[in-house]
Amino acid sequence: MQAVTRSIAERLRGDGPSFSFEFFPPRDEASERQLWQSLRELERLRPAFVSVTYGAGGSTREGTVRVTERIATHTTMLPMAHLTAVNHSVAELRHVIGRFADAGVRNVLVIRGDPPGNPTAAWVRHPAGVEYAEDLVRLVKSSGDFNVGVAAFPHKHPRSPDFASDAKYLARKIDAGADFAITQMFFEAEDYLRLRDRLSSLGYDVPLIPGIMPVTTMRTIERSEQLSGAPFPERLRGQFADLGEDRAAVRALGIEQAGRLCRRLLAEGAPGIHFITLNRSTATREIWTSLQETVPA
């Protein structure tokens, strides 16, 4: 079994692009079985790492800790736990960080998080908590030997006034100690490339990993907008709408579009691809397989 203490930053410095997968904590026994079936199927692809989300408003904290611990101790995969500041005091955050450390989990994706119940509502800091993601980065870094990732937003964060300001916010998280960044999902390569250029113009070159979620149903489009806070490209929306109720055709187009996007990103120098799986493996495996035929190892 590979050492769980290896950092994601180390793996990103390896030869060839990295492939990684995002999962969310299950809510019942059926979704628990689905999660572990998908994890085992994707484990065969030897991902650089896998991540487990924290859930809206930090509501799935215990699930995140439990699943991440199990991945660390019962699989060959390197886990990364998401951590948000929502509704948590600094003492509570330190407790969760300690749980990760006790399980040998040394990779954490720091996200300030959205207000519970309404992601677009005004942010309200816990009275004894932290205000910004950069503060949470410093807290994790001060708690031990952790490799820390942060979120990046190709369409800018919904609360950022403009793209330039958003890039500066990302830079502040890097200054606080972030080792790499993973983007929110997007569907046009130019959105990622412009973000990378903005960050580079500020003098930063940390690994910026694209987050990719393929469209497999028309509902995925709505889901992507809810999760990212960014509009789905009208050009692509029209292509999917033209397929009407043909679910197989929608799925085929989504897989093809995602594969094309990944190939372009890797050709442009992206360090890897982080697939948002929604706890399903089939679409991700299909895209991964297509990439092996065109992307050198």
| Residue 49 buriedness (CB in 10 A; 0-12 / 13-18 / 19+) | buried
Which 8-state DSSP code applies to residue 158? T
pLDDT score recorded for residue 169 = 96
Cβ pair 270, 210 in contact under 8 A: yes
pLDDT score recorded for residue 119 = 62
Architecture of the domain made up of 8-292:
Alpha-Beta Barrel (3.20)
Helices assigned H by DSSP within the chain: 8-12, 29-43, 61-74, 90-102, 133-141, 163-175, 189-201, 218-228, 234-241, 247-267, 282-292
pLDDT score recorded for residue 1 = 40
Amino acid identity for residue 280 in this structure: R
Catalytic residue among 10, 22, 190, 225: 22
Closest alpha carbon to 149 in 81, 48, 92? 81
pLDDT score recorded for residue 161 = 86
Block means of pLDDT (10 residues each) for the chain, length 297 residues? 66 90 94 97 97 70 89 95 92 94 94 74 86 96 96 89 93 98 96 97 97 93 82 92 93 97 97 97 97 72
pLDDT score recorded for residue 4 = 41
> Is 22 annotated in the active site?
yes
Domain map of the chain by residue range? 8-292
pLDDT score recorded for residue 230 = 82
**Residues recorded for the chain:** 297
pLDDT score recorded for residue 2 = 44
Integer angstrom CA distances of residue 14 from 7, 140, 168, 223, 229: 12, 25, 28, 33, 33
Cβ pair 222, 231 in contact under 8 A: no
The whole-model pTM stands at 0.93
